[in-house]
Chains A and B, each alone.
Chain A
Amino acid sequence: MAMAPVGAGLVIDRHLDPSEIVSYIEYGATADQRARLESHLARCADCRAEIRDAERIIASLPLNRSWHRRGALGAAAVAAALLLVAVLPRPGRERSSLQHREAAVAATIAPVILAPVHLVDSLSAFIWRSVPNASRYEVRVFDATGSVVWHEETADTLIYAPVVAGIQAGRPYYWRVQANVGYDRHVTSELAEFTVQPLARP
């Protein structure tokens, strides 16, 4: 077996080897092995970074079978080329080679709000669908008068609602998310309404 067996109760206190990395990424490990790998990954940022990089590179490899027929060194060439683009630092790029105008965005899909919407039991997070080419999202929450009660930015499609936002149960609020899709280009979702249901009195 390529991956060294890890017995019951053993903690992996070394970095993962390539076979273990691949076995985890491609779900080839048994449940026990996966649990031990995850236990190590939860503590080791370096191995998590390796998992992240390997997942992204493997996902970008061409699926054409001719790459496999070209043999091991051919596959290494592809992997090395992709890694060089991702890893090597670029000390300086001539200004003349920079493109000052990005490709025109003909049409952009607005973010679609997922939650919270209408009456909700509790408020934990604001969630929306991602927008192609969006680098940042800004969430704004308004009260019934239209005043902004809270706003925050994130690169993710989820943002947790802190208690300090002052959102009270039983009152309607409105929120929307604006996606940054380029220099001075934004696209905004529809306004959504939500109310946190008051706790039932005993």
Chain B
Amino acid sequence: MDAYAFVIEVLRADDCRRLRAYVPDPSVRFTSWLVVVTRRLVLDFVRQRYGRSRSANLNFQEQHLARRRLEDLLTDEIDPDDLPSSGGTDADAVLRRRELTRALARALDELSSTDRLLLALRFEDERPIREIAKTLGLPSVFHVYRRLTAVLSTLRDVLRRRGIDAAQP
């Protein structure tokens, strides 16, 4: 009840200044806009009362783990020996991992915004496929599967090309 009162109080403040910030537009329904605004106010209330969650570092760790999962998935079919080698030392594995990470970052930048978002939703947020279909506006879960398969295949090809091309004399 406190949070409800907080939300109402903030919305009514300054002659409903926050509500008046809504600009009527056919593409932005007022009810949906109000949901987003209310969510932010409720989060403000929760943070004021219970403190901000220490999730920033956790988010970074989760993103790092997600990136590692994607790298592992993509390189399952790539022979590590095909990646450029800096010489027969035990540090090869670390160097190859760094090279893979850099190559993956470059390959991801070449994808469309939709495909990059698809990978983020799937590997960083681990959203269910049906929710990803809804968010991206894809007709069915099968469209998501197919697009994911295509994107991963593209990334593998790019990584393989860069790794193998660099090793050729």
- Which A residues are within 8 Å of any B CB, using their own CB? 1-3, 18-19, 21-23, 25-29, 35-36, 38-39, 41-43, 45, 48-55, 57-58, 61, 67-68, 72-73, 75-77, 79-81, 83-84, 87-89, 124-125, 127, 130, 155-158, 160, 162-164
Contact = CB atoms under 8 A, between A and B. Distances in A.
Contacts of A39: 113, 116-117
20 contacts: A18-B33, A19-B28, A35-B112, A36-B113, A38-B116, A41-B117, A45-B124, A48-B121, A50-B39, A68-B31, A72-B11, A80-B3, A80-B4, A80-B7, A80-B38, A89-B46, A127-B145, A157-B128, A157-B141, A164-B76
B145 A55 contact: no
A23 B117 contact: no
Interface in B89-130: 112-114, 116-117, 119-121, 124-130
A48 B43 CA distance: 15
A36 to B, nearest CB: 7
Interface in B116-163: 116-117, 119-121, 124-131, 134-135, 137, 141, 145, 149, 152
Contacts of B114: 35, 38
A18 B36 contact: yes
Interface in B18-62: 19, 22-43, 46, 50, 59
Contact of A83 (B25, B38, B117, B129): B38
B63 to A, nearest CB: 7
A19 B38 contact: no
Interface of B: 3-4, 7-8, 11-12, 16, 19, 22-43, 46, 50, 59, 63, 73, 76-77, 112-114, 116-117, 119-121, 124-131, 134-135, 137, 141, 145, 149, 152
Contacts of B126: 155-156
Contacts of A77: 4, 8
A87 B6 CA distance: 14
B28 A23 contact: yes
Contacts of A158: 129, 145
Contacts of A52: 125, 127, 131, 135
Contact of B35 (A42, A45, A54): A54
Main secondary structure of the interface of A (DSSP, over half): helix
Contacts of A157: 128-129, 141
A54 B39 contact: yes
B59 A19 contact: no
Nearest to B12: A73
Given A73-B8, A80-B38, A87-B46, A42 B31 contact: no
A79 B76 contact: no
B46 A88 contact: yes
Nearest to B5: A80
Contacts of A83: 3, 38-39, 42
Cβ-closest 9 pairs across A and B: A28-B27, A2-B25, A42-B116, A38-B113, A39-B113, A18-B36, A79-B38, A2-B23, A163-B76
A188 B40 CA distance: 42
A125 B149 contact: yes
